Each structure stands twice: as structure tokens, then as C-alpha cells.
Structure 1
Amino acid sequence: MLSTAIMAVETTANPLVPNVWELLVTVVGFAVLLFIVVKYVMPAFEKTFAERTEAIEGGIAKAEAAQAEADAALSEYRQQLTDARTEANRIREEARAEGAQILADLKARAATESARITEQAQVQIDAERQAALVSLRSEVGMLATELASRIVGESLADDARSSRVVDRFLADLEASSQSAGAAQ
């Protein structure tokens, strides 16, 4: 019994030799599990990975496009700023030139107006001087006629005679004042 027990133990107890049926069941189970994983699980993972890759690449592309758009907008902004500064400088220079032109026009108008006013004043002074001379001549004539009437004792009521006497007296007076002015 001992020998049958030893033998029974020897055939069933060898741990290095696997049981063929267990090995076959394990291989078939592994193959079924591998088939399920390859057929159903792996495509789901691949689809998820592809979607993530596509989303990441799309996000990178969108970011690059946004960066390019931002760079273009910045470039356009800088160009507009440069154009605005150039335009402002041009407007400023035009305003300066226009201001200088307006100032020159105003000075010319002022000079013209001043000359016109001076000329009018001179004409008015000459007219007033002539009026004063005429008035003075008539007053001096009347005084001279009255004085001559008193000296002569005779009335010089004749207007023609008195006018000739006054004119002669004033002519003599002007001649003596001109000769005195030339002597100085």
C-alpha cells in the first residue's frame, strides 16, 4: 500500500508537469478573452485615443490660427497707429502753414486797412484845412474890409470892391509868409 500510495503520489503530485486539460481550458479562455479585448475593447480605446489626438491637434491648430490672427491684428494695429501718427503730423503741419498764411493775410489786410485809413485821414485833414482856410479867408476879409472902412472912413459896401481888396491883401500876406519861409 505504501508502494501504491507512493506511486499515486508520484503521478499526481508532480508540480512541474501541468495537467493537459487545465492547460487547454486556460489557453481557450485566454484566446476568448483576447478575442473580446481585440474585437471590442481595443477599437473603443483606439477611437478614444484618436478623438483625443484629433482634439489636441485641432486645439493646437486653432491656437496657431488664433496666434496668427492676433499677430495680423497687432501688425494691422501698428500700421494704423503709424498711419494715424503720420496723418496727425501732416494735419499739424498743414495747420501751422495755414495759420502762418492766415497771419500773413491778416497782416497784409491790416497794412492795407491802415494805409486806407491814413489816406482817408489825410484827405479829411486836407479838406478840413481847406475849409478852415476858406473860413479864415472870409473872416479875415470881413475884418480887413471893416478895418479898411474905418481907416479910410469910407464904406466899402460894394462886394466886388471889397472882394478885390481882400484878395489882394491875402495875396500880399501869402507872398510875405512864403518869402519869410524861404529865408529861413
Structure 2
Amino acid sequence: MINTIAQLAAEGGEHKPPSPLLPQWYDITWSLVAFAIVLFVFWKYVLPRYQKVLDERRDTIEGGIERAEAAQKEAAEQLQAYREQLAGAREEAAGIREEARTQGNAIIADMKAQATTESDRIIANGNTQLDAQRQQVVSELRGDMGRMSVDLAEKLVGTSLSDDVKQAGTIDRFLGELDDANGAVK
């Protein structure tokens, strides 16, 4: 305080209040010391931890982005593989359908051939049976016709033609004449 009084006396005794805009030198000094200590503590402890947290966040974000890109790439590869499998399955299905059509056509052709063969066999059997029945009917008709002829001849002649050998010869001769007459008509 003595210094302040001496200073005031030297200035002419007039005391000027300190300026609020210009602080005293000791305030600036102690403020710089406190700022340096806070700056040191901040620089030494706070800033490294803050930088560590930022680095971890950056690594997490970049790792997440890289994982997302890797997952997206893997998904794209799986999608491509799926599409290739799907195309292969479609081609295989088309081949199976074509093979089934070919086999179906072959089966139809075989069935038609079997049906034709069976039809021909049935027709041949029918023709054979028809020929056999016709021969049977012709032979029965010949026998009936022969007996009727003999009966008619007996009535006409008035004598009995009961001798079997004579009767068979007469019948055969008569039927032969009929066959010749039918052949000439045709």
C-alpha cells in the first residue's frame, strides 16, 4: 500500500481507479499461470482420453461400415449364386420336361404300335374264326342239302336211295354241279 500511496503522490495526488478494460499486470500473470496449469492438465489427461474415445468411435464406425460393405458384398455374392442355381434349376426342369415329352411320345408310339398289333391279331383271329364258321356252315348246308336232294330224288324216282355209298356219291356229284354252276355265274 505504501507503494500505491507513493505512486499516487508522484502522480500529483490524484488517484485513478483501475480500468475495467485493462487489467493489472499481476491479474494477467496469475491468469496465465492458472491457464497454463489448466492447459497442461487438459493437454496431458483430457485431450488423450478424448482422442482415444474419438478413435474408438471412428474405428467402430469405420468397422461397422466395413462390416456392412462386407455383408453387402457377401449378400450380392449369395444372390448371384442363388440366381445361378435358379437358372440351372430352370434348365434342368426344361430338360426334364423335354425328356418327359420324348418319353411320353415314345410311350404313345409304343401303345399305338401295340394297339395296332393287337387289332391286327384280333382281326386275324376273327377272320380265322369266320373262315372256320363258314366252312362249318358250308359243310352243314351241304349235308342238309344232300339229304334234301336224296329225299326229293326218292320222291321223284319213287324208289329208295338208302344205300349210303350211292347216296354220298349222288350228293357229291350234285354239289359239284352246283359249285360249277356258281363258278360260271361269277
Do the two structures share a fold, i.e. TM-score over 0.5? Answer: yes
Residue in structure 1 matched with residue 87 of structure 2 by the alignment: 82
Aligned pairs (5 A) from 1:68-147: 68-147=73-152
Q: Which amino acid aligns with 2:137?
A: A
Q: Which amino acid aligns with 1:47?
A: K
Residue by residue, what CA displacement relative to the aligned partner does 1:112-131 show, whole Å, maximum 9, x if unpaired? 11111111111011011001
Residue by residue, what CA displacement relative to the aligned partner does 1:2-32 show, whole Å, maximum 9, x if unpaired? x82625768996997953x444433322222
Aligned partners of 2:180, 2:87: CA distance in 1, in Å? 83
Identity of aligned residues (%): 41
Structure 2: segments with no counterpart, 5+ residues: 1-5
CA-based RMSD of the aligned residues comes to 2.6
Q: Which amino acid aligns with 2:169?
A: R
Residue in structure 1 matched with residue 183 of structure 2 by the alignment: 178
Query: Which of residues 27, 42, 45 is equivalent to 1:37?
Result: 42
Residue in structure 1 matched with residue 52 of structure 2 by the alignment: 47
Q: Secondary structure at the match of 2:11?
A: helix
Residue in structure 2 matched with residue 25 of structure 1 by the alignment: 30
Residue by residue, what CA displacement relative to the aligned partner does 1:38-80 show, whole Å, maximum 9, x if unpaired? 1221122011101110111111111111110111122012112
Quick one: structure 1 residues 39 and 154, their matched pair in 2 at CA, closer, same or farther if it must change by over 3 Å? same
| TM-score (norm: length of structure 2) | 0.84
Structure 1: segments with no counterpart, 5+ residues: none
Residue in structure 1 matched with residue 70 of structure 2 by the alignment: 65
Q: How many residues align?
A: 179
Quick one: structure 1 residues 71 and 9, their matched pair in 2 at CA, closer, same or farther if it must change by over 3 Å? farther
| TM-score (norm: length of structure 1) | 0.85
Aligned partners of 2:148, 2:62: CA distance in 1, in Å? 124
Q: How far 1:83 sits from its partner (Å)?
A: 1.1
